[in-house]
Amino acid sequence: MEALKVSYASSEEEGDDDIETVPSKKPKLEENGLKDTIALPPPPPDLLVLPSNSAYKNGDSGNRIRSFPHVEGNYALHVYIPAYLKNNDGAQVHAPHLAKQYHISLSRTVAIRVHQIDSIVAMLRHKLHSQKRYWIEFGKWEVFINDDQTRSFLAMEVTTGGLSEISKQVHVVDEIFRLHNLPEFYKNPRPHISVAWGLGDITLTLKQTADELNRLKGNVGSTKKSIWSYMFNGIECKIGQQTYSIYKGSIV
């Protein structure tokens, strides 16, 4: 499948920069709210068991590569939607191939100065304080790679529900970044959760894994359209080692 390079950050640690390559076919945007949407259970752990390869890492572990040089007084900033995989009974999933916490990026990981922190956090909270709940649906497995081709990623991609809402949130964050002379998010973002990654360009290997997982999903039943879905319930901002709650929905 032909690929189209799209830059975009997916980071939990200071200086991470997961800029990905995605297929050229764009997913159809849908104004998909709560109506006619069914909550699906999280992907079973056995779907995330990757080929036996020491290069594969969980989504929240491994050697991190700084996307920009460390400068005294600079802090890494990243805005994202947190997501937690849970069992049907609501218990946190703990499995060898599952990270404890995932996220969908709403911004790049960028460097800011200490005097910008209060202003950025205040504006994010003001502009994003009122959000409606909506379902985020992950329709397929996909492969991404960062710009430096130092890391490749296996991810669940949002292909239907939630695309329109996430795009609007990205637009709001972009406006705030522009006011602070910060780089905006990349064009044509492809919302996703990175589940696992490997060092270097191993996209061909990961693509085989993604194709197999997509085949397994298709064999589950003709009525199953998503790998997993969950209710949007918050936005967070990580600056350095501190996490700020930007928006927090009600507990579901």
Q: Could you give the residue numbers annotated as active site? A: 103, 192
Q: Looking at beta carbons, which pairs linking 165-170 to residues 24 or more positions away fall under 8 Å?
A: 165/132, 165/134, 165/232, 166/81, 166/104, 166/106, 166/136, 166/191, 167/29, 169/81, 169/106, 169/128, 169/131, 169/235, 170/106, 170/107
Q: Find out whether 8 and 185 touch, Cβ atoms under 8 Å.
A: yes
Helix axes 117-127, 163-179, angle to 10 degrees: 140
- Pairing mode, if any, of strands 110-113 and 192-199? unpaired
Rounded to 5 degrees, what are φ and ψ at 220? -65, -35
Enumerate the β-bridge partners of residue 58.
196
Considering only CA atoms, give the Rg of the chain: 17
